[in-house]
Amino acid sequence: GGSAMAAVRAVEIDPEGTFKYILVRLQRPGGGEQRDIVRGTKAAEFHNHIFEKVNPEMEKLGYECKCLGGGKIEHNSKDKKIRVFGLSAGYGKADHSVTVEILKKEYTDYEITWSDDKK
């Protein structure tokens, strides 16, 4: 049921710094239940590195993954600020406004903004 999808964390990003991120849509094969998640890390040199890690994890749980685009996240945990910007050359630009809404649920006391700036 919905519990397995609910168990998937909506956000997994590095606690500090500027790094690439992707917006991923999880879906049960054959439609039905779906959910968007945010993943970002400094460890990823390219956006597809993040997807290549997330995809098998989610397939194991029985979800199909689709990357909806990417960008960058600047995470300042000291000032409690997150900025979402940029794009992915491979996947295109994620809808940063969607990303911000997902981040706001996780980082409730943060100031979270987005823009189409490249840097």
Residue 38 placed within a domain: yes
Contact of 74 with 110, CB cutoff 8 Å: no
Residues in the annotated binding site for substrate: 20
Phi and psi, residue 71, nearest 5°: 175, -150
Residue 119 placed within a domain: no
18-22: average pLDDT: 98
Question: In this structure, what CATH number is given to the domain that contains residue 77?
Answer: 3.50.20.20
Domain region containing 97: 4-114
Euclidean distance between CA atoms 91 and 111, whole angstroms = 26
17-21: average pLDDT: 98
Using CB atoms within 10 Å of the CB of residue 37, give its burial: 0 to 12 exposed, 13 to 18 middle, 19+ buried. buried
Residues in the annotated binding site: 20
Number of domain units in the chain: 1
**pTM greater than the 0.85 cutoff:** yes
The string of pLDDT tens digits covering residues 45-61 is 999 999 999 999 999 98
Active site residues: 47
